[in-house]
Structure 1
């Protein structure tokens, strides 16, 4: 199913001057000492296997001794810029433990493992080719989801912080069968809300390996949240189903869990809750999201065929006449967000008027 839903390959779109200025204004654009292409000059590699000796689709790359020294210093500097004040003070306490290269997917990222030599704590960050779709996706996630994101853009290179969690495919295979019935019900609720949030902000391709499950211990039970980790398919595909995780075969077990654990009126309730939360975030983001969407409206991040298909499919749900005039994916996105916000404001105003009448 997922192969039929998706295009064979999504092209990368350049960051235009307006988006570049936006990134600079909000401190996302910072000069960095190393570029994506620099890391491609590796001399050799070995396959990275998981604990079950299965291929992870990552390879560990190696560089010549001379280049390795320069690359290590640059990667430590990037870590300092991303997670600290950008100074060299902490670099003496850092070690680059590994540079891994992913051979699967569109972005082909490098994953950098940085370790603090004083206490052996380590973290990851990713270096990718800059793509306007991904930049819009990261910014929208930062503003419209419950989670803040830290990333940097400089010319053709994108630096992303690591999003911690259990990969969805691993969780479904190894941990979901061990969950209690109560935990499954809570997970079902989160999947419904995650599904709704992706559709509202047009984030596509949320197959199980493109999101993580984040467990949080709360008193005597565990609360699970779902976070997207790949933003490559922001506002590109024409089929609305691509923006709804429920339609990917990789999420079949999650969909079945929703069907078994939740009644229809509960599903509708959770959808309304998520729409309201997203509407509140749109309102609280103020000028920032207005600036981003205004730039996206005039940007080319898809093709005319996809724009036409998506606007027609969304129109069949919303009957919003403004969709008819959309010529770009940014305009479709703007109408989708405005529709959610408008409905929330209309309901809120209705409740205020009803309360006044009652008083």
Structure 2
């Protein structure tokens, strides 16, 4: 299936509602910052950024007039301090803003800021984007329902995100996967199954290979691979259920083939159940925080009416849960999808407890 038929042409940006704003304030995601997305658009010029193979990265390195550069550098150091430290200015003397890059590809058109510690040459990145409610819901759900915590800040129309380190999926598939051992390929296949299931459960769409990273973790005498989403722009917007399953994107074809060649059907089913159970446990342990987020999403406008109608119909066909047909907003669909996973987990757990009591008696 082509991407044009699978994905919408353009996703609109949705403003932060009063409920979501109150949520962000309550959980310390809102903060005053000295520079906004629009300020970074005042660059005087740019040059193309190429990779090691001299191919266009679709990023451009921007530069500013002398009159603005000093102020912008100081403001970006302040943002770095707020994001990664205590927000004070005592570390400014040790920081240098090496580069400000602007991405011309995709919906969000982010700025990528590279900050270096001049004492030891260690560097890190953070991103400056336009605030979008869909992306905020995606970041928060990733923070609560995935194995990874995320650090981000919101101020009015500007979103600051920390960098998620890893090897871009498309780069890994092209350059590194062919050299992996058979054991590593089997482990990658398992991880892709779990990643695929996790995305579908929490309705995170558009996980093409360049929208996630693969993270190698050294464990004793072998390498364990993890897959992490890095783009949360398509959180519960699209109407097609396939958009929320990475397996249906042509960019992931090699990963799907890896699963087919390395895992038996019983193993795939086992890993799906494992992931659903883990997500259900995270939903339960998140308590009031996820309830408050979903209450905001249920009342929010974060998708198109036709998308809502299509998605709730497709999920009903999959689950046969009549409650999906009653949903009026995409947030209600998301809430019910997560509740469905949680209820199934609790029903199975209760059945196991009852069976154990019967055996003991």
TM-score bucket (shorter structure): over 0.9
Superposed, 1:82-97 pairs within 5 Å as 82-97=83-98
Asked if residue 22 in structure 1 is aligned to residue 53 in structure 2, the reply is no
Distance 1:219 1:167 in 2: 24
Distance 2:252 2:37 in 1: 32
Partner of 2:269: 268
Distance 1:154 1:175 in 2: 39
Superposed, 1:146-161 pairs within 5 Å as 146-161=147-162
C-alpha offsets along residues 307-347 of structure 1, whole Å, 9 cap, x if unaligned? 00000000011111110110100000011000000000000
Partner of 1:62: 63
Q: Which runs of 4+ in 1 moved over 2 A?
A: none
Partner of 2:52: 51
C-alpha offsets along residues 38-67 of structure 1, whole Å, 9 cap, x if unaligned? 000000100000000000000000000110
Using the TM superposition, give the Cα deviation of residue 112 of structure 1 relative to its aligned residue in structure 2, in angstroms.
0.1
Using the TM superposition, give the Cα deviation of residue 2 of structure 1 relative to its aligned residue in structure 2, in angstroms.
2.0
Partner of 1:125: 126
Using the TM superposition, give the Cα deviation of residue 15 of structure 1 relative to its aligned residue in structure 2, in angstroms.
0.2
Unaligned stretches of 5+ residues in structure 1: none
Distance 1:294 1:210 in 2: 28
Say which SS state the counterpart of residue 286 (structure 1) adopts.
helix
Using the TM superposition, give the Cα deviation of residue 253 of structure 1 relative to its aligned residue in structure 2, in angstroms.
0.3
Partner of 1:145: 146
C-alpha offsets along residues 55-97 of structure 1, whole Å, 9 cap, x if unaligned? 0000000000110000000000000000000011111100000
C-alpha offsets along residues 270-318 of structure 1, whole Å, 9 cap, x if unaligned? 0000000000000000000000001000100001100000000000111
Distance 1:97 1:238 in 2: 41
Q: TM-score, normalised by structure 2?
A: 0.99
C-alpha offsets along residues 135-176 of structure 1, whole Å, 9 cap, x if unaligned? 000000000000000000000000000000000000000000
Partner of 1:41: 42
Distance 1:16 1:154 in 2: 13
Q: TM-score, normalised by structure 1?
A: 1.00
Distance 1:51 1:65 in 2: 30
Q: CA RMSD in A?
A: 0.4
Partner of 2:248: 247
Superposed, 1:1-359 pairs within 5 Å as 1-359=2-360
The total of aligned residue pairs comes to: 359
Say which SS state the counterpart of residue 41 (structure 1) adopts.
coil
C-alpha offsets along residues 186-231 of structure 1, whole Å, 9 cap, x if unaligned? 0000000000000000000000000000000111110000000000
Unaligned stretches of 5+ residues in structure 2: none
Using the TM superposition, give the Cα deviation of residue 4 of structure 1 relative to its aligned residue in structure 2, in angstroms.
1.5
